[in-house]
Amino acid sequence: MKKLRGPTNPDLRKLIQNLRILSSKENVGIWKAIANELEKPTRARRSVNISKINKYARDNETIIVPGKVLGSGNVTKEVTVAAFQFSESAKNKLKNFMLINDLIKKNPKGKNVRIMG
């Protein structure tokens, strides 16, 4: 029997596949980079606190976190955050947040998106 490699979460596997297809179709490297980050084991995947997003993001910027956004800190800037997962406290503190699936539908070219983590 063949052993599965990579993530076992079916939603994550589908997202990685969609990111690779979109990267090839649109000729955009950011989606391939995100797919590579999401393929890492859970313990090696990025997790970012809101305080770090607030510190490094600019107003009206879209930030993508290839992992999980945690709720430590406060956000004072108008930023849109996309990630694979959000903690409950992060969801409560952020005004504009979305899953990576929603971001690739809204912005398939990946314009004005910054990776953080």
Question: What are the tens digits of pLDDT across the range 79-98?
Answer: 999 999 999 999 999 999 99
At residue 113, φ and ψ (nearest 5 deg) are -115, 135
What is the pLDDT averaged over residues 47-62?
A: 95
> What per-residue confidence (pLDDT) applies to 4?
66
Q: Domain count for the chain, please give it.
A: 1
> What per-residue confidence (pLDDT) applies to 42?
87
The answer as to whether 44 is a domain residue is yes
The answer as to whether 74 is a domain residue is yes
Enter the pTM of the model: 0.90
* Range 22-29 contact pairs with CB under 8 angstroms and sequence separation of 24 or more: 22/104, 22/108, 26/108, 26/109, 26/110, 28/108, 28/109, 28/110
Q: Which CATH number is 14's domain given?
A: 3.100.10.10
